[in-house]
Structure formats: structure tokens, C-alpha cells
Structure 1
Amino acid sequence: MVRAYADQTAQQRRYLQLNLSVTLEVCSGGITVTATLMEFVALTAPVTKNVDTTLAARYDEYSDFGGSAVPSIGVEYRPIEDLIIRGQFAQTFRAPDMQRVYGDPSYGSQQVTDPQGCQNAGGTPGPDSPISACNGEHYIDTITGPNPDLDAEQGES
């Protein structure tokens, strides 16, 4: 990380921050996922004596999910020395993890109430019913697995 201060008298309020890029390569089952990450570039500068702004950008690139540049802007207001009010708008990008895309399926069972099965058995749904389809003691088999069609998540905050 490199910080370059705008001037020596306001070191705590004005600076440029840079993080350098890192390349990761992960292999799983013959599939190689290469991710190049540039953490962020941020510039903080005063607007007035009591107001600072921060402009930042982050770029992520994944070989399987593409890349995205996401900006953010923040404002910091200091009406008195011991009080800071901050606000920020940012966009986000997150590639799905490898387990959700390429992982093995997992098998289990889920406890459910079966309204149709309960009605067919002549019961009424509720915890006191002697019929398993009515009282939530009915079990169904489940299979949970990967989805190779997942896309990256994007959002705003």
C-alpha cells in the first residue's frame, strides 16, 4: 500500500491510497480459475474546512466470471472536533465461490408439513396431529448441488 499526502499539514485529512494487484490461480478438477485483483484506488480531499470527500474505485477480474470496476463516493462532515458524520454510496461485485459452481452435490433430508398429504389422510395441519404429513414430522429427500450457470453478484449500498 502506498499513501501520498496532499500536503504535510493535513496528513490525516488528505491522501491518495493505492493497493497493488495480486494474481491468484486455483485448480480444481481440471478447471483453472485465475483471478486478478486490484484492491482499490482512493483519493480523499477536503471540500471545505469541515467536509471531506473520498472517491474510490476497485477492479476485480475473474477468468470465469469477467471483470467489474466498481466506484464509491463518501462524504465526511465534522461539525465539531469530537463528532464525525459519514455517508457513502458504493457499488459491489462478487464472483460466486468455486463450491457453488463446481462442487459435488450433497444429499440430505428435510422435515416438512405436507398440506395435500395431510388433507388426503383426513387430518388437520398442526403440531398435535398424529399424522406425520400434518405435524411436520414428514421427511423428504433433498439433493443440493452446484450450478455452473451462476453469474457474479452485483449490488449497490
Structure 2
Amino acid sequence: MNSTLVRDAVALVARIGLGVVFIAHGWQKLNTFGLDGTAASFEAMNIPVPTASAYFATFVELIGGGALVLGIFTPIAGLLLFADMVGAAFLVHFENGVFATENGYELVVALGVGALMLAAFGAGRISIDGITKGKTAILQ
């Protein structure tokens, strides 16, 4: 079996899976809660500059998630999504323990590490980055 093809297929599945979850969370912030509601929620959680943080989280998750699905600008999208999840982990979730059922950090750590891996190792050849010969990984 061609290990490069397997690597590319795994990167595709990982990108789509992570990207869809990030898009869903960004969409929830934008459409369900609204940006004002998200900012109010962030303020209640004592997140610094809650309005700017709400805009950052919402649009990084929407646009970055879409970029992962398409495999375009993957290193940049992955790093921004990782930063988003680091902020969520430290500012909200670590104090609640591990489990997501208790608003813990397990989901944000998994999403952040996945985004970081895609940033570091790339989108693979089955991506816009791969097709256009764009920079697909930080570690190239």
C-alpha cells in the first residue's frame, strides 16, 4: 500500500472532521447566540476584551474551519484555530477538569491539538494547498 496516499487520505478525513466541528461552533456563536450574546457570555466568563474575543473566536472558527475543510492556507488556519483553543482552555475550561460534560477541557484540547498537527504536517495532496503546490505545512 502507498503510505503517501494513506497519509493524504488521513489528512483529508482529519481536516474535514475538525473543520466541520469548528464551523459548527463558529456558526453557533454567530447564528444561535449572536455576536452580542457571545460577547456577553464571554464577559460573564471574565474573558479579556470580550467583544473582540467573541469576534475573533467566531470568525476564526468559521473561516478557519472552512479553510481546513478545503485544505487551503492550512498552516495559518491551523495555528489560528490552535490559538483559539489555547485561549478557550486557559480562560474557561481548565478550571472545570477534564470532561466536557462538566465544561472541562477535553474537547478544546483535542480540537486544538488536531489543528496544530494539521498546521505542522500539512493538508496533504488531496487539498487546494496540495493541488496548487501552496505551502501545506509549517514543517516542510
**Normalising by structure 2, what TM-score?**
0.23
More helix, by proportion: 2
TM-score of the two chains, using structure 1 as the length reference: 0.21
Greater RCO (CA < 8 Å, at least 6 residues apart): 2
Greater Rg over alpha carbons, structure: 1
